[in-house]
């Protein structure tokens, strides 16, 4: 029981951290606010976001493997598969902004140039898609926890 509680708490803290840093990226990734300090901050936020996402997925897998309910229960649940599919889609989407933030940082350091408005808008759109998929994942988790 203690292991289940620890894994659940770790998973929840990772999810909340993930939400905070994804929201921070969404707030800062705007052409009207973009300056050198924001580019530096976006790179740092993205590292924390990636670590939180990794802990979130790892703790979820740990719950699947070592949790009280067992893997067969999770794998037999259709909402589990939907939730995992959406999380994987978010992970895939997150690579483009992560690479863009690092590219912007390298360019800023070497030439002092900021990205153009169309690239910032494109990257922001992907961050916003992730930001809008995340609450759907949470709603699925709530319905699933209530036995739906």
| Domain locations in the chain as residue ranges | 2-145
- 8 Å CB contact between 60 and 11: yes
Mean pLDDT for 121-132 is 97
d(CA 17, CA 55): 10
pTM above 0.85, yes or no: yes
- The per-residue pLDDT for 148 is 78
Please state the rounded mean pLDDT for residues 122-131. 97
Rounded to an integer, the average pLDDT of 67-73 is: 87
28-32, 36-40, 144-148: the lowest-pLDDT one? 144-148
Residue 67's pLDDT is what? 86
CA–CA separation, 36 and 43 (whole Å): 11
């Amino acid at each position: 029981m203690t292991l289940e509680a620890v894994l659940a708490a770790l998973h929840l803290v990772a999810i909340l951290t993930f939400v905070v840093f994804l929201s921070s990226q969404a707030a800062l990734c705007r052409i009207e606010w973009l300056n050198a300090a924001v580019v530096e901050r976006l790179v740092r936020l993205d590292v924390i976001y990636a670590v939180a996402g990794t802990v979130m997925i790892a703790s979820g897998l740990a719950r699947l493997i070592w949790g009280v309910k067992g893997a067969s229960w999770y794998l037999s649940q259709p909402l589990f598969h939907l939730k995992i599919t959406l999380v994987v889609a978010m992970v895939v989407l997150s690579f483009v902004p992560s690479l863009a933030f690092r590219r912007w940082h390298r360019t800023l350091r070497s030439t002092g140039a900021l990205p153009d408005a169309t690239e910032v808008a494109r990257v922001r759109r992907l961050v916003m898609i992730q930001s809008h998929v995340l609450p759907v994942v949470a709603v699925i988790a709530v319905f699933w926890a209530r036995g739906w």
